[in-house]
């Protein structure tokens, strides 16, 4: 039996899982690769394996802003479940790795055939809506430092490692703040011994301390996934 290493696929009954994987190909995702543009027709659906993708909203005259993230706990292209073939957000690869990819026609054909896939995608869409709402409130009410701690935890969860590459410029872009704001917030976390950040390489030194420094939105996001999909959103990927 093929091991999908994507939580949504692993939730499917064995026959449905193997049928879906038979339609998929494993593809590498490169850093900063754009998988889809907002308002453009979707060509593929991606189930990340060891990669992760930032969901970015764009407003005319302003820089983009990250409002969500998808790793091996989810899927990119779930809007097809609603009968919508255009992408609601830009999808920008944040963590390199691989993903299962299939064409939109193949995905729709499997969706029509698999009640289990429909069931879990309905729940995933609800979780995504809840997380988008949380993200909006977070951007409005929380300061940069706890937001940065939350973002680093989200990235570590999906990277499945205590270190990853990220620049000040990219962090500022994702958080919707000036670069100097990221520098101050990252410096504060580093002085407390929570992270080590040097030349684009970030290492989490104190995970519990970073969780304590993050805003409550981080725990809320994890709880919403667990409540509606019944498994820890970032459990060991080596699922049986």
- Does residue 164 carry a pLDDT above 90? no
Q: Are residues 62 and 129 in the same domain?
A: yes
Q: Are residues 117 and 165 in the same domain?
A: no
Please tell me whether residue 151 adopts helix, strand or coil conformation: helix
Tokens of 34: 């754009």
Query: In sequence order, which residues have a C-beta less than 8 Å from that of residue 22 and are 6 or more positions away?
Result: none
Q: Are residues 81 and 194 in the same domain?
A: no
Q: Are residues 34 and 68 in the same domain?
A: yes
Query: Domain of 163: which CATH number?
Result: 1.10.10.10
Domain range enclosing 150 = 143-214
Q: Are residues 133 and 154 in the same domain?
A: no
Transcribe 183-240 into DSSP letters.
Answer: HHHHHHHHHTTSEEEETTEEEES-HHHHHHHS-THHHHHHHHHHHHHSS-TT--S---
Average pLDDT, the chain: 90
Tokens of 129: 């809506």
pLDDT in tens, 82-105: 999 999 999 999 999 999 999 999
Q: Are residues 168 and 112 in the same domain?
A: no
pLDDT of residue 238: 39
Confidence of residue 28 (pLDDT cuts 50, 70, 90): very high
Q: Are residues 23 and 72 in the same domain?
A: yes
Confidence of residue 233 (pLDDT cuts 50, 70, 90): low
Tokens of 171: 């962090």
**Cα 102 from Cα 24, distance rounded (Å):** 5
Let me know if residue 186 belongs to a domain: yes
User: Among 114, 139, 164, where does a domain finish?
Assistant: 139
Q: Are residues 20 and 119 in the same domain?
A: yes
What number of H helices and E strands is found in the chain? 9, 10
Let me know if residue 234 belongs to a domain: no
Domain count, the chain: 2
pTM for the whole structure: 0.90
Q: In this structure, are residues 174 and 107 in contact, taking their beta carbons and an 8 Å threshold?
A: no
């Amino acid at each position: 039996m093929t091991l999908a290493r994507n939580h949504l696929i692993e939730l499917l009954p064995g026959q449905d899982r193997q049928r879906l994987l038979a339609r998929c190909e494993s593809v590498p995702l490169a850093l900063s690769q754009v998988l889809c543009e907002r308002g453009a027709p979707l060509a593929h659906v991606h189930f990340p394996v060891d990669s992760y993708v930032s969901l970015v909203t764009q407003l005319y005259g302003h820089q983009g802003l990250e409002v969500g993230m998808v790793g091996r706990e989810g899927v990119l292209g779930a809007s097809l479940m609603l009968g919508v073939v255009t992408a609601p957000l830009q999808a920008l690869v944040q963590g390199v790795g691989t993903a299962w990819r299939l064409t939109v026609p193949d995905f729709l054909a499997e969706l029509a055939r698999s009640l289990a896939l429909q069931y879990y995608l309905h729940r995933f869409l609800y979780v995504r809506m809840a997380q988008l709402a949380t993200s909006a409130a977070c951007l409005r009410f929380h300061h940069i430092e706890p937001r940065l701690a939350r973002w680093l935890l989200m990235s570590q969860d999906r990277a499945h490692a205590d270190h990853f590459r990220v620049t000040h410029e990219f962090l500022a872009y994702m958080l919707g703040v000036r670069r100097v704001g990221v520098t101050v917030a990252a410096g504060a976390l580093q002085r407390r011994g929570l992270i080590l950040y040097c030349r684009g390489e970030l290492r989490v030194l104190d995970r519990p301390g970073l969780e304590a420094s993050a805003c409550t939105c981080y725990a809320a996001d994890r709880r919403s996934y667990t409540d509606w999909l019944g498994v820890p959103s970032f459990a060991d990927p080596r699922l049986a």
